[in-house]
Each structure stands twice: as structure tokens, then as C-alpha cells.
Amino acid sequence: MIDDSQYIQDEPLKIGNLTLNSRLIVGTGKYKDFEETEKALELSGTEMVTVALRRVDFDADDHLLNHIDPKKYTILPNTAGCYNAEDAVRVCRLGREISNLNLVKLEVLGDPDTLLPNPVETLKALKILVNDGFTVMTYTSDDPVIAKQLEEEGSTAVMPAGAPIGSGQGILNPNNIRIILERAQTPIIVDAGVGTASDVSRAFELGCDAVLLNTGIAGAKDPLRMAVAMKHAAIAGRQAYLAGRIQRKLYANASSPPLDF
Amino acid sequence: MNITLNGKSREFSDSITVAAMLAELQLHPQQVAVEVNREIVKRDQFEIHQVNDGDEIEILRFVGGGGKEDNNDR
């Protein structure tokens, strides 16, 4: 039997001075309990997990950090729930106190109904954070102009949404993602909208550097099985991209020689 | 003395440090971030920083979340 591992060698994903062997970044929300969270993260193969920052619940007897080994996972604090630059910067600075890293995921939303990013406030926060020495991974829409501008303002990775948050619709505008990819110097990470394994594969086939997902795993009927599916989907999509797909053609092209007898 | 802790009024003994307050609340200093009157108290200042009557204190920690859809009441 041939050992296939030599045929799927890949370079690690570099984000700032971090290197990650898994190209999935996984959220930690919406799981049934911490045990399920812990198992799903492990099964997904991820090496980076994103977390939100909230007030301590003094009545709780257990909490997330008891279940995430910082030696195993890079912890990526996010600014979920922030609607302006000021709040987002505050959350990043507080998160840094716990994670002991300058790494953050910036997301500044426009309003709670659409959950679309607010590009003006996002850019404002990004400038402050970059100035403050943060390595910023920035959530944005799939607008190629804004994506480029985030990069120019010092975002270490740009994270366009595939589809509206929590919609599970996959990558709705692959053309925009392709334009973003063609012009990017930084890693491009699809964040939001992933519904199932093929959405993850699709992102990698387009050439994305990584995918961030949470609900796609946590919201599945069997989250642990889906975590494994997502891991394989990431490998499959990434390897297909590296292997180089065939051109789409209008007509058939026989794979056997013509009959010659 | 009375302080506002995570939005709620709470009594603590006088002349207490942030570290002592965390100990009383049974919180691990490595797992929380502390803000006193909107200013971050760095971890290496926990033992030194005195809490004063009327202070507004936020003690925060990481919770599960992928981003976006998360909100405060989840």
C-alpha cells in the first residue's frame, strides 16, 4: 500500500508569526456542553479556536477555559457583539489580558438584524489596533474594495463572509471571493455562511487560505461527526486546489482511446 | 464598602486588592480580565491595585463563540 501522506504535503498556514498545520479555525459557541465542545474541537483537527469575551457568571461552576488547552490551541479572542470601533478596541485590549497574545479577530457589525459588518467602524478600529501592536484578523463582507483596504491598513488576515451569518448558504458570490484572492497579499479566510462540508471544500478550491466556522459544526444534528467531515472537507478542498483542477469544457472528452478493433 | 461589580452592587471588606477580590470570588487570575472604572488592571498589578468604595469593576472571561451571532444573554 502506498502511504498517501507524501502526496498531500502542504505548507503550514502563516498568520503573522504563527504557523498552523490545520487550515480550519473553529468557534466555540453553541455546543451542548463543554465536553462536546472539547471533543468537536479535537475531532476537527483545528489548531486555532475563537472565543468571545463576556462578564463572569459568578454562579457558573465550570467555564470554557477549563476545557481548552492553550498549549494545543491558539486562542483567538473575537469582538462578537460590538457595533462600534470603541467597543471593539476595548474588547481586544481586555482579551489580550487573558490570552497573553496580540492576536485578535476584529468584527464590528452594523446592526443586529442584518449582522452585516460596518466597514467604516471596522477600518477605524483596525487602525487603532494596528497602532497598538495587535495582529488583527478582520471580518468583512465579500466586497473586494474593502478587503483590499483592510489589507492596506495592516490587517494580517482578511476574513470575508461566504454568506450572511448563520445562514449556512455557503459561498454565495464566488466571483467576489476570487477577485479578493487574486489581489490579496495576506491570507484570505472565509468566515461565516458555511453550512456543510462541501462549502468548506469550495472555499479551499477557490484558493482560500483557511476557513473559520462554528455553527456549521455545532448546529449539525451530530456535531462530532460533522467536525470530522469538516476536517476531511478542508483537506480535500485544499488538496484539490493544490493539485490543480481541469478546465470546464462545454463538450464531452472521452477518457478511453477510440475503439480500434 | 460598596462597589459595582459587573453591573450589580456588591459589598466587600475595606482595603482589598484586586487579587484578594478575585480570591474571594474564587476566580483564577490567569483566566480573567479586570477593568476598574473603565481602565484595565494588568495582571501583574492585581496584588497591588486597591479597590475603592464606589468603584465600577468589570470582571470578564472567555466564553464560547464563533463571533457575530453571539450576544450577551447567551
Q: Which of A96, A134, A129, A102 is nearest to B34 (CA)?
A: A96
CA A230/CA A104 separation, integer angstroms: 23
Distances (CA, A) of A32 to A24, A35, B70: 21, 8, 15
User: How many residues are listed for chain B in this entry?
Assistant: 74
Q: Strand B16-17 to strand B33-36: parallel, antiparallel, or no bridges (unpaired)?
A: unpaired
The x, y and z cell numbers of residue A27, run together, are 468557534
Q: A64, B58: Cβ pair inside 8 Å? A: no
- Give yes or no for residue B69 having a pLDDT over 60: no
Gyration radius of chain A over CA positions: 19
Distance from the A256 Cα atom to the nearest Cα atom in chain B, whole angstroms: 48
Q: At CA A147, angle to CA A144 and CA A151, rounded to 5?
A: 140
Instruction: For residue range B9-60, list pLDDT tens digits in order.
Output: 999 998 899 999 999 999 999 999 999 999 999 999 999 999 999 999 999 9
8-state DSSP, A17 = T
- Give yes or no for residue B70 having a pLDDT over 60: no
In B, residues 18-57, which contact A (CB 8 Å cutoff)? 25, 27, 30-35, 40, 42-43
> What is the structure's pLDDT at B67?
66
- Give yes or no for residue B74 having a pLDDT over 70: no
- A54 bridge partner residues: B61
The x, y and z cell numbers of residue A100, run together, are 497573553
> What is the structure's pLDDT at B66?
75
Q: Strand B56-64 to strand A48-55: parallel, antiparallel, or no bridges (unpaired)?
A: antiparallel
Question: Hey, is the C-beta of A78 within 8 angstroms of any chain B C-beta?
Answer: yes
Distances (CA, A) of A96 to A36, A65, A91, A102, B33: 26, 14, 9, 6, 9
Q: B66, A77: Cβ pair inside 8 Å? A: no
Per-residue pLDDT in tens (0 to 9) along chain A, 261 residues: 899 988 999 999 999 999 999 999 999 999 999 999 999 999 999 999 999 999 999 999 899 999 999 999 999 999 999 999 999 999 999 999 999 999 999 999 998 887 889 999 999 999 999 999 999 999 999 999 999 999 999 999 999 999 887 788 999 999 999 999 999 999 999 998 899 999 999 999 999 999 999 999 999 999 999 999 999 999 999 999 999 999 999 999 999 999 999
The x, y and z cell numbers of residue A182, run together, are 487574486
- Picking from A54, A80, A218, the nearest residue to B68 by CB comes out as A80
Residue A128: phi, psi to the nearest 5? -65, -45
> What is the structure's pLDDT at A23?
98
What count of other Cβ atoms lies within 10 Å of the Cβ of residue A58?
13
Residue B68's pLDDT band, with cuts at 50, 70 and 90, is low
What ranges make up the beta strands (E) of chain A? 13-15, 18-20, 24-27, 48-55, 74-77, 103-106, 135-140, 157-160, 189-191, 210-213
Residue A140: phi, psi to the nearest 5? -150, 175
Sign of the C-alpha dihedral computed for residues A213, A150, A96 and A18 taken in this order: positive
Question: Hey, is the C-beta of A101 within 8 angstroms of any chain B C-beta?
Answer: no
Q: Which residues of A touch B10 (CB under 8 A)?
A: none
In B, residues 1-20, which contact A (CB 8 Å cutoff)? 6-7
> What is the structure's pLDDT at A192?
81
DSSP letters for A74-124: EEEEB-TT--SHHHHHHHHHHHHHHH-SSEEEE--BS-TTT--B-HHHHHH
CA A229/CA A45 separation, integer angstroms: 11
Answer yes or no: A105 catalytic.
yes
Distance in angstroms between the alpha carbons of the first and the last residue of chain B: 31
> What is the structure's pLDDT at B71?
43
Q: Which residues of B touch A26 (CB under 8 A)?
A: 66
The x, y and z cell numbers of residue A117, run together, are 459588518
Whether residue A26 contacts residue A45, with contact meaning beta carbons closer than 8 Å, is answered with no
- Picking from A75, A105, A166, the nearest residue to B69 by CB comes out as A166
CA A186/CA A177 separation, integer angstroms: 14
